Amino acid sequence: MINRPDKNRISDIIERFNGKKILIVGDIMIDEYLSGKVHRISPEAPVPIVEISEEILRFGGAANVALNVKTLGCEPILIGLIGKDRMAENLDILLQNEDMETAGLVQSDIRPTTVKTRIIGDNQHIARVDKEILTYADIAEEKALMKKIEFFIKNADAVIIEDYNKGVLTENIIEFTIQQSSLNDIPVSVDPKFVNFMKYKNVNIFKPNIKETERALARHLDNDQKIIEAGFSLKESLRAESVLLTRGSRGMSLFEGNDDVTHIPTQARNVSDVSGAGDTVISTMTAACIAGASKKEAAYIANIAAGIVVEEVGIIPISKDALLNRA
C-alpha cells in the first residue's frame, strides 16, 4: 500500500505539467449523443420514436486522451486517422475550440471518421450506432502516419499510444512509434487493447485494465496474489519499465523492478460513471512522470484524477484545478 505523498510535493508536480508536450498516437473517435423525448411507437416496427431535441459531440478514444492532456495544462499533439466527411470537419472544429493542434491528423480516402452515436430517449439509453472500419490502416495510411510521427516526435516530452482496436495501430505503427521514441530518448506510455496486447515491448508505462489482462493471460485474477503474479509476468514478457494495472473499484497496482509492487486504493467517493477513466489515468500518469514524479507518485496522482472523473456522469476530462484541489 502506498503512503500518501506530501501535499506540497504533489502540488508542485502538478504545477509543472504546464507546457509539457505529449504526442498521442492512436484511434481517434467522436462520441455523438442524440437525446430527446419518446411519445409514441413507430408504426413500421415495435421501436420507440425519439424526437431529438439535443445533439452533443464529444472527443472519444485518443482524442479524449488528448483533451485530458490539454486540461491538465500540457500541450497535446494528436496523430491518427480521420475520414473525409462531416464528422472530420466537426472534429476539426472541436479541436480548434480547445486550442489543440490539428496538423497530426491524417485523412483517409477509404475510411470514415469513427463515430459512436448514442440515442437517448426520456433519459434512457435506447441504442448505439457505430460508424467505423476496423480493418488495419493500409500501406499508404501507415506511411502518412509514420511521417507525422517522425516529424512531431522530435519536440515531444512523452508519447502516449492509445489503442482501441480501430485499425490505426498496426504492428508497423507500433514498432515505428516505439523505435522513434527510443531514438529520441522519449518515454512511451501505452493504453492497450486486446488484439496487439503483447506487441508493446520496451515501453516505460504499460497500463492495461483487469479485464484486458485476464483475457491476454487467460487467467482469472480474483485475488492479490494472482494480480501480483500477472503484473510481473506482463512486465517480464514485455520488458516494460513499469506496469500499471487498473482494477476498477479496487484501485490500481503498480509493478516496478523485480519485486516492487504498490497497491493504491480507489480515491472515488461516489462512482457515477467509469467511462473515460482509463484515458484520464494514462494522461495523468504520463504528465506526472515527465513533470518529475516517481512512478509511485505519478500513480498516486493518476488515481486521484480517476477518482474525480468517475464521480461525474458522462465522459469528462480531468481538470488541473480539480486535481490540485483534491491532492
Residue range of the domain that includes 292: 7-29+59-115+134-326
Q: Is 279 a catalytic residue?
A: yes
DSSP 110: S
Does 53 fall in a domain? no
Question: What is each CA distance from 110 to 82, 138, 172, in whole angstroms?
Answer: 10, 10, 20
> Is 56 in contact with 91 (CB distance < 8 Å)?
no
The CA distance from 322 to 50, in Å, is 36
Q: What is the pTM of this model?
A: 0.94
Amino acid at 67: L
Q: Indicate if the alpha-carbon torsion angle 298, 304, 310, 316 is positive or negative.
A: negative
Pairing outcome for strands 75-82 and 105-107: parallel
- List pLDDT tens digits, range 253-283: 999 999 999 999 876 555 544 566 899 999 9
- List pLDDT tens digits, range 83-98: 999 999 999 999 999 9
Binning pLDDT at 50, 70 and 90, where does residue 316 land? confident
Mean pLDDT of 106-132: 95
Output the pLDDT for position 273: 40
* Ramachandran area for residue 135 (φ above 0: left; ψ -120 to 50: alpha; else beta): beta
Does 128 fall in a domain? no
> Is 202 in contact with 182 (CB distance < 8 Å)?
yes
Residue 170 makes CB contacts below 8 A (sequence gap 6+) with 136, 137, 142
What rounded mean pLDDT belongs to the chain?
93
- 6 vs 32, higher pLDDT: 32
> Is 306 in contact with 281 (CB distance < 8 Å)?
yes
Does 42 fall in a domain? no
Strands (DSSP E) found in the chain: 21-26, 28-41, 48-61, 75-82, 105-107, 114-121, 124-131, 158-162, 188-191, 205-206, 242-246, 252-256, 260-264
Does 90 fall in a domain? yes
- The SS3 of residue 171 is helix
- 130 vs 194, higher pLDDT: 130
The closest of 173, 156, 158, 144 to 82, measured between CA atoms, is: 144
Of 27, 260, 279, 321, the active-site residue reads 279
CATH code (residue 178): 3.40.1190.20
- List pLDDT tens digits, range 199-222: 999 999 999 999 999 999 999 998
Output the pLDDT for position 268: 57
Amino acid at 24: I
Does 311 fall in a domain? yes
Long-range Cβ contacts of 2-5 (<8 Å, 24+ apart): 2/262, 2/263, 2/264, 2/296, 2/299, 2/300, 4/300, 5/296, 5/297, 5/300
Does 102 fall in a domain? yes
The CA distance from 280 to 282, in Å, is 6
Mean pLDDT of 218-231: 92
Does 275 fall in a domain? yes
The DSSP-derived string for 260-288 is: EEEEE----SS-S--TTHHHHHHHHHHHH
Does 246 fall in a domain? yes
Q: How many folded domains does the chain comprise?
A: 1
